[in-house]
Amino acid sequence: MSKAFSAIGEERDVERDEFTPGLEPQPTWCPGCGDFGVLKALKGAMAELGKDPEEVLLCTGIGCSGKLNSYFESYGFHTIHGRSLPVSRAAKLANHDLEVVAAGGDGDGYGIGGNHFLHTARENHDMTYIVFNNEVFGLTKGQSSPTSPKGHKSKTQPKGNAKDPIRPLSLSLSAGASYIARTAAVNPNQAQEIIVEAIEHDGFSHIDFLTQCPTWNKDAKQYVPYVDVQDSDDYEFDVHDRQEASEMMYETESALYEGTVLTGRYYEDEDRRSYQQEKQHRGDMPEEPLAERYFDDDYEWERSYDFIDRHK
């Protein structure tokens, strides 16, 4: 165990309460908001995995969703709108022993941060990304988001949104995520199981997390009843088969807007190297966590003087 980061990898039983900030304010989310479900599931998953709060870095974006780490006790980085992924990616490269989780809304992740989402999935960083999909911009008061249904009306879309919603699962698959699931706040048990799986997975895990927004999507029960595709005999497909997973995702994404909420695991590629492994394989990244060296008095730092000679 290293002295620099001794919170990492400590083995002990961890209580879910350890993830509840002591004196911090209670969540400011609206009553009935789906975000409570994510918080609950995330705490449960961390306790189940026995993670020490200090070995976890939770990076969020901006939005109601982005406040997640204000109510969750760990190292946190509340970044800026759409940028949680590049910040977390770098944290993982700086210290790959850290447990890095990024979270944000559908506007944050599929809109303003869409480009980062594509590239983080493509690179397959070993981290977990939870997108709170409530089909609207919550914090800025109900405008259409990339997942809002076509025709969605708001003060900035008075005639109804003319765009088709984005298909986050299919998008994620084609971009290269190696673990993809959808769950819903209305089912915290499934949600917790999925978060555990996602964290255990070596590679980029994307969870499209359906969170109802009773304030801007009036029907607070918008994701009920839901169906767990793994539990239902109506849906048979192999999560390791890209083609089958893709077809299932397509069906799921079409059905959502017709009122059928399908959730579960959609895809897992266990063979693909994570980005860190890929870089290490190429000699492009050290085996030891880079951040450790700054605390190691014995580490021999190379200096520019050694290659200045080339210029003689």
Partner 1 sequence: MTDDELIWRIAGGSGDGIDSTSQNFAKALMRSGLDVFTHRHYPSRIRGGHTYVEIRAADGGVKSRGDGYNFLLALGDSFARNPSENAVYGDEEIKPLSENLDDLREGGVIVYDEGLLDAEDVPNFEERVEENDWNVYPLDLRGLAKEHGREVMRNTAGVGATAALVGMDLDHIEDLMADAMGGDILEQNLEVLHDAYDQVNEKEFSHDLTVPEGEHDEEQVLVSGSHGIAYAAIDAGCRFISGYPMTPWTDVFTIMSQLLPDLGGVSEQVEDEIAAAALAVGASHSGVKSMSGSSGGGFALMSEPLGLAEMTETPLVLLEAMRAGPSTGMPTKPEQADLEHILYTSQGDSHRVAFGPSDPKECYEQTRTAFEIAYDYQIPSIVVYDQKLSGEYRNVDATFFDREPAPDLGSTLTEAELEDAPHDDSGKFERFRHDTENGVSPRSIPGQKGGRYLASGNEHWPTGHIAEDPDNRVAQVERRLQKLESVRGDLDERDQQTLYGDEDADFGLIVWGSQQGTVEEAVDRMNADGNSVKALGVSDLSPFPVEEVTEFVESVDEAIVVEMSATKQFRGLIQKHAGDFDGTLSSLLKYNGNPFEPAEIVEAVEIEQNGGGELPTAQTTLEPAAGD
Ligand X SMILES: Cc1ncc(C[n+]2csc(CCOP(=O)(O)OP(=O)(O)O)c2C)c(N)n1
Binding site for ligand X (CB under 6 A): 62-65, 81, 104-108, 132, 134, 136-140, 145
Binding partner of 255, given ligand X, ligand SF4, partner 1, none, CB within 5-8 angstroms per partner class? none
Q: Identify which range of 69-77, 145-153, 155-163, 183-191 contacts partner 1 by CB under 8 A.
A: 69-77
Total number of residues that touch partner 1 (CB under 8 A): 65
Residues 1-30, one symbol each (x = binds partner 1 by CB under 8 A, - = not), give: --xxxxxx------------xxxxx-----
CB neighbours of residue 255 within 10 Å: 13
- 279 Cα distance to chain centroid: 22
Cβ(98)–Cβ(8) below 8 Å: yes
Site for ligand SF4 in 106-135 (CB under 6 A): 134
**Which of partner 1, ligand X, ligand SF4, none lies near 108, with the C-beta cut-off 5 to 8 A by kind?**
ligand X
Sequential DSSP letters for 135-200: SB-TTTTS-B-TTSPTT--BTTBTT---SPPP-HHHHHHHHT-SEEEEEETT-HHHHHHHHHHHHH
CA distances from 202 to 124, 233, 268, 288 (A): 9, 29, 10, 17
Binding mask 263-282 for partner 1 (x = CB under 8 A): ----------------x---
Residue among 78, 93, 214, 228 that touches ligand SF4 (CB under 6 A): 214
139 CB-contact burial (10 Å; exposed 0-12 / middle 13-18 / buried 19+): middle
Contact 177, 167 (CB under 8 A): no
Q: Is 219 in the site for partner 1 (CB under 8 A)?
A: no
Is 193 a binding residue for partner 1 by CB under 8 A? The answer is no
> Quick one: CA dihedral 281, 285, 289, 292, positive or negative?
positive
Q: Which is nearer to partner 1, 118 or 191 (CB)?
A: 118
Cβ 143 to ligand X shortest distance, Å? 7
- Tell me: does residue 30 bind ligand SF4 (CB under 6 A): yes
Q: Which stretch binds ligand SF4 (CB under 6 A): 27-35, 89-97, 152-160, 202-210?
A: 27-35
Bridge-partner residues for 184, per DSSP? 210
Which residues inside 48-67 make contact with ligand SF4, applying CB under 6 A? Answer: 64
Closest CA to 57 of 84, 17, 32, 28: 84
Indicate which of ligand X, ligand SF4, partner 1, none lies near residue 33 (CB less than 5 to 8 Å, by partner kind). ligand SF4
Beta carbon nearer to ligand SF4, 139 or 196: 139
Residue in 148, 147, 80, 93 with CA at minimum distance from that of residue 120: 93
What CA–CA distance (Å, rounded) separates 46 from 21?
A: 14
- Closest approach of ligand SF4 to the CB of residue 64, in Å: 3
- Contacting positions for ligand SF4 (CB under 6 A): 29-30, 33, 35, 64, 134, 138-139, 213-216
